[in-house]
A and B are shown apart, each in its own frame.
Chain A
Amino acid sequence: MAMTHLNDEQFQEFLDGGRQSLGERLAQHLDGCPECRLKVAAYRAMYRRLTNDAGFDLSVDFAASVMRRVELAPRRNPWLWVVYPAAALIAVVTALYFFVDLSGTFGRLGQTISSITGMENAVVNSLNGLLEGLNLKPSLVLAAGGMLVAFALLERLFFTLRRGKAMFFA
């Protein structure tokens, strides 16, 4: 064995990539050199330890714990940006409808829209027609919508507060 022994990098190359990663000359040296073979054996034993390493145990109810936290932290839904402001608007309108007499304002607003669009009462009529067809009163629909919205907002607020994160749309 006139040739120099393999170095640490070469032992590792051999164990990671096999004989061909060493090249013929080095591979032949390894075949015939007891000293290098001993060192390869030590590296191989260490590799075995690394591959069988243990002690990473998470708790038995790990998945359940994550699920609990996930339920408290709903997945970000891009639609929330539309749904919640829209919901808030409906809630405000509902409240105003019930507590403030705005018929005059709405009447004027209605006239303005009609005159702008020139559609007269086509939209309003078809909407009313639909509601009548379903046997529902417009005020009832508004009230139900408002309550749903209020509930959604409260629920949202409750969870965001409990998580200690941003107030809305977190």
Chain B
Amino acid sequence: MDQDRALIERILAGDTAAFTEFIAQYQRLVSHIVYRMIDNAADREDLSQEVFVGIYRGLAEFRFESKVSTWVGRVAYYRCLNYLEKMKTPLFEDLSGEDQTIDDVAGPALRPDGYAEVQDVAARVREEIGGLPGQYRVIVTLYHLDEMSYAEIGEIMKLPEGTVKSYLFRARKLLKKRLEAKYRPEELWR
């Protein structure tokens, strides 16, 4: 936290190298959120850049009331929501009902035993994550890749901690179900 504060003070004093350092520190987090929320690959880079431009301009107003990472995450999340709104792509699917059933997303070709060939498990998992509702995708990513707590994720997405937890659990259950419906468990989970 103190390191973050020192870094931000250097940026505000006009030290450009300090902002390059800041970008290096947080670009992973921003890319996680942007890539998970935006399907259009062509717009991801530009949006990620815009997130940092916005952060740079708002830096003087940051009051250290939350962790810098949470603030960066929130800027990225809301920038993406804004973009999706403009593109008229709803991120907020109705998540209030019970777990969705395994849907009929076009999957890989099936073998005679009814399962699909597992070539690259990582790629398959990634593809299935992409098929989850938007909020699930973001939560799973922030929790597992960025090691954020329910509270931090809740702060970014403006959701109660309990909701974050229940979405996370439902997301993983759904993901596992969908994967196991398509691939042989013993090949998938080798």
A58–B31 touching, CB < 8 Å: yes
A76–B189 touching, CB < 8 Å: no
How many residues of chain B get a CB closer than 8 Å to chain A's CBs? 41
**Is A47 close to B, CB under 8 A?**
yes
B189–A47 touching, CB < 8 Å: no
Q: What number of residue pairs across chains A and B have CB atoms under 8 A from each other?
A: 98
Q: For residues 103 through 149 of chain B, which have their beta carbon under 8 Å from a beta carbon of chain A? A: 121-122, 125-126, 129, 140-141, 144-145
| A77: nearest chain-B partner, CB-CB | B60
**Is A2 close to B, CB under 8 A?**
no
Encode contact with B along A36-71: 1 for CB under 8 Å, 0 otherwise: 000001110111011111111111001101110110
- When distances are taken between beta carbons in the complex, the residues of chain B under 8 Å from A78 are 60
A63–B20 touching, CB < 8 Å: yes
A49–B48 touching, CB < 8 Å: no
How many residues of chain A get a CB closer than 8 Å to chain B's CBs? 32
| B175: nearest chain-A partner, CB-CB | A46
**Is B151 close to A, CB under 8 A?**
no
**Is B35 close to A, CB under 8 A?**
yes
Q: A12-B172, A67-B16 are in contact. Are A59 and B45 (CB under 8 A)?
A: yes
Residues on B close to A: CB < 8 A? 12, 16, 19-20, 23-24, 27-28, 31-32, 35, 44-45, 48-49, 52-53, 56-57, 59-60, 121-122, 125-126, 129, 140-141, 144-145, 169, 172-173, 175-176, 179-180, 185, 188-190
